[in-house]
Amino acid sequence: MTVSVRIPTILRGHTDGAKTVPGEGATLGDLLADLDSRHAGLSDRIVENGALRRYVNVYVDDSDVRFTGGLDTPLSEGASVTILPAVAGG
Amino acid sequence: MVTSALVAAIWAHARRDHPDEACGVLAGPADGDRPVRHIPMLNAARSPSFYEFDSADLLALYRDLDDRGEVPTVVYHSHTATEAYPSRTDIALASEPDAHYVLVSTRGPSDDEFRSYRIVDGIVTEEEVRVTDQPRVE
């Protein structure tokens, strides 16, 4: 499945400044591995110990993947994946 | 530079949500540094010591900003019992290197603690807040 991925400002150092990059994968986990093969270090900023980092939100189309299977969330052709760091603090 | 109307809108939101922390954004054009629009956000944590934009609201916010060619020029939140200075958690979670992080404190009765910072790679740099009565002129 080919999808488009919106990269947040703070991670664009991994994508030569690109705001949107293409990627491939049957699941979100596959997609992150594919992205990391071309944008080294990107996956580590999103995944920790095999799970999504607490303060990074990932959406497939309109859904937060925390509610759709996390890294196992399936991707459909042409899906829109959005990565957004949480806006949070104390 | 921020208009007095936007400053007043942040204070009104912070006072309204006190004793919980209030949070939101001042949006502005991506190619400038002047916020033009106040977007109060729901504090999904509903806490006096923590804030987090609701996940679905966060996606809707960024889609709207992208559609309008805007960015979160200012990301603000209130401290309800401490000074308007970034907490360790604020510093650890700051993730918009181009944003001005505004903090206000509602610990006292007067609206006088309104401060702005850059937070990049764990480094906090306070910056002068200049308030104008004039809307954007460029």
Q: What is the pTM of this model?
A: 0.94
* Contact yes or no for B74/B99 (Cβ under 8 A): yes
* Contact yes or no for B65/B53 (Cβ under 8 A): no
**Closest Cβ–Cβ partner in B55, B75, B87 for A57:** B55
CA distance A50 to chain B (A): 20
B138 pLDDT higher than 60: no
Q: How far is CA B3 from the centre of its chain?
A: 14
* Nearest-Cα residue of chain B relative to residue A13: B97
**Closest Cβ–Cβ partner in A6, A59, A88 for B93:** A88
Q: Write the pLDDT tens digit of every residue in A29-82.
A: 999 999 999 999 999 999 999 999 999 999 999 999 999 999 999 999 999 999
B135 pLDDT higher than 80: no
B93 pLDDT higher than 60: yes
**Does the CB of B86 have a partner CB in chain A at under 8 Å?**
yes
* Contact: A82, B62; criterion CB under 8 Å: yes
E strands along chain B, which residues?
A: 2-3, 23-29, 37-41, 51-52, 70-79, 100-105, 114-120, 123-127, 131-132
CA distance A52 to chain B (A): 14
Q: Is A35 left (phi over 0), alpha (psi -120 to 50) or beta?
A: alpha
* Contact: A87, B45; criterion CB under 8 Å: no
